[in-house]
Amino acid sequence: MSIERLELAATVAGLIFIIAGHAQARYRFVRGRHRGRRFYWTASFLGIICFAFGTGKIWPNAVASAVIFTAIIVGSAYMITPYLKIGGQIYAASPEHREPDPPDEGR
């Protein structure tokens, strides 16, 4: 298998993971804030890593794509989800997303 095919496969896999993370942010198909948050960040992280490897060159292509996608994912987590949680504090644009996680939610 040629290196170009591996790069294409990594790029496509990265886009699929990033789209899956965004779909979770938009449609919330994984129930529960904790599990949804974990799915969002795991899928997004895997997507960024795969896409960066798929660009072919670490500098500047992979670094630039990783920075751009990270900014988009963190920005969308802040704007449309309660998934941006740092040190127990939830950061979100809307007040209802800033509410603490429900205590009875299963992990």
pTM value surpassing 0.95: no
| Distance separating alpha carbons of residues 25 and 19, to the nearest angstrom | 10
Dihedral over alpha carbons 76, 50, 64, 58 (to 10 degrees)? 160
| Distance separating alpha carbons of residues 88 and 16, to the nearest angstrom | 29
Mean predicted confidence (pLDDT) in 61-72: 97
The strand pair at 85-86 and 89-90 is best described as antiparallel
Across-strand partners of 89? 86
**Could you give the angle at which helices 3-27 and 33-54 cross, rounded to 10 degrees?**
160
pLDDT of residue 1: 76
Of the chain, the percentage scoring pLDDT greater than 70 comes to 97
Nearest to 55 by CA among 76, 69, 43: 69
| Distance separating alpha carbons of residues 19 and 59, to the nearest angstrom | 24
| Distance separating alpha carbons of residues 31 and 52, to the nearest angstrom | 29
104: pLDDT strictly greater than 80: no
1 or 58: which carries more pLDDT confidence? 58
Average pLDDT, the chain: 95
